[in-house]
């Protein structure tokens, strides 16, 4: 069991909360939470903070997790023994490497870390892109079988919602939306698109071979019929996260 998994389980039991109750409040499945507690599932630091806050550990929630804490959210010896051995061998060299790192590497934080390099097959540093597609920060995301949500990890990114035009679809300004590549319309999906020289998040309804309905919902529901040929489909949204 990982240190974080053990902490979550111990505090959950102390608070007399079931896995189902915690999972529901955190917006994850019960099986996901149980895997985190058992140390067999990688979890991002933002999700870890959300779970800790849900079960009442506000002091730990406010403290920044170290890279070791993030790595410890999974028992590498159970998940990938060879990776665990490599990481353990490299760990003592991290401090020495950080001393000689360039200023650029230091600004990037964990990007140049040898420890993270050892974990790169199970975690990926995914950029959070703003409205002009410039990275504003990064999140550590689990990689499963070499993929993130079924997509090439290098093609996946978070998009920072710039406004409340999609809040009726539970995406508010400042939320981060995990997206995977999609160059054609996906019926019923929320997608990131280029339309009339602007970038939008819109829910898509396919009307045929040539047209789609672009749906938004701020204070009122709005829709616009558009020609598929006029739209640049960038990616499909698969997950939304928010800061508590």
DSSP for 67-119, written as a single string:
HHHHHTTS-HHHH-HHHHHHHHHHGGGHHHHHHT--HHHHHTGGGG-HHHHHT
Do both 161 and 230 map to the same domain? yes
Q: What is the pLDDT of residues 114-149, one digit of tens each?
A: 444 545 557 888 999 999 999 999 988 888 888 898
Do both 1 and 29 map to the same domain? yes
Do both 65 and 86 map to the same domain? no
Encoding tokens for residue 121? 């097959």
Q: What is the pLDDT of residues 188-203, one digit of tens each?
A: 999 999 999 999 999 9
90 vs 43 pLDDT, higher one: 43
Number of helices (H), then strands (E), belonging to the chain: the values are 11, 9
Residue 15 lies in a domain: yes
Q: Is 227 exposed, middle or buried (0-12, 13-18, 19+ CB in 10 A)?
A: exposed
Q: What is the pLDDT of residues 58-80, one digit of tens each?
A: 544 334 444 444 444 444 444 44
Residue 132 lies in a domain: no
Residues whose CB is less than 8 angstroms from the CB of residue 13 and which lie 6 or more positions away in sequence, other chains included:
none
Do both 91 and 108 map to the same domain? yes
Report the domain count for the chain: 3
Among 23, 53, 77, residue at a domain's last position: 77
| Predicted pLDDT of residue 151 | 92
Do both 160 and 236 map to the same domain? yes
Per-residue pLDDT for 96 more than 70? no
Query: Which structural domain, as residue segments, surrounds residue 97?
Result: 80-121
| Predicted pLDDT of residue 33 | 86
In percent, the amount of the chain with pLDDT more than 90 equals: 40
Do both 106 and 35 map to the same domain? no
Q: Positive or negative CA dihedral for 139, 140, 141, 146?
A: positive
- Which CATH number is 189's domain given? 2.10.109.10
Q: Is the pTM of this model over 0.85?
A: no
Residue 137 lies in a domain: no
Please, what is the angle between helix 3-14 and helix 19-26, to 10°? 110
């Amino acid at each position: 069991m990982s240190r974080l998994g053990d902490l979550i389980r111990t505090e959950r039991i102390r608070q007399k909360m079931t896995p189902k109750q915690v999972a529901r409040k955190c917006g994850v499945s019960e099986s996901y939470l149980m895997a985190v507690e058992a140390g067999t599932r990688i979890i991002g630091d933002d999700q870890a903070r959300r779970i800790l806050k849900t079960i009442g550990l506000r002091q730990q929630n406010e403290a920044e997790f170290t890279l070791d804490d993030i790595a410890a959210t999974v028992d590498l010896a159970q998940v990938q023994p060879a990776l665990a051995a490599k990481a353990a061998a490299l760990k003592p060299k991290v401090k020495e490497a950080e001393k000689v790192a360039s200023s650029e590497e230091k600004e990037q934080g964990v990007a140049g870390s040898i420890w993270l390099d050892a974990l790169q097959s199970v975690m990926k540093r995914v950029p959070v892109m703003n409205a002009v597609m410039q990275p504003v920060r990064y999140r550590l995301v689990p990689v499963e079988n070499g993929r993130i949500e079924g997509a090439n990890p290098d093609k996946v990114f978070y998009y920072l919602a710039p406004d409340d035009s999609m809040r009726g679809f539970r995406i508010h300004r400042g939320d981060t939306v995990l997206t995977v590549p999609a160059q054609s319309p996906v019926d019923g999906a929320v997608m990131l698109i280029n339309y009339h020289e602007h970038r939008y998040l819109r829910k898509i309804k396919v009307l045929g071979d040539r047209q789609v309905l672009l749906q938004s919902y701020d204070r009122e529901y709005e829709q616009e019929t558009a020609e598929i040929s006029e739209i640049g489909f960038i990616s499909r949204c698969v997950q939304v996260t928010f800061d508590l």
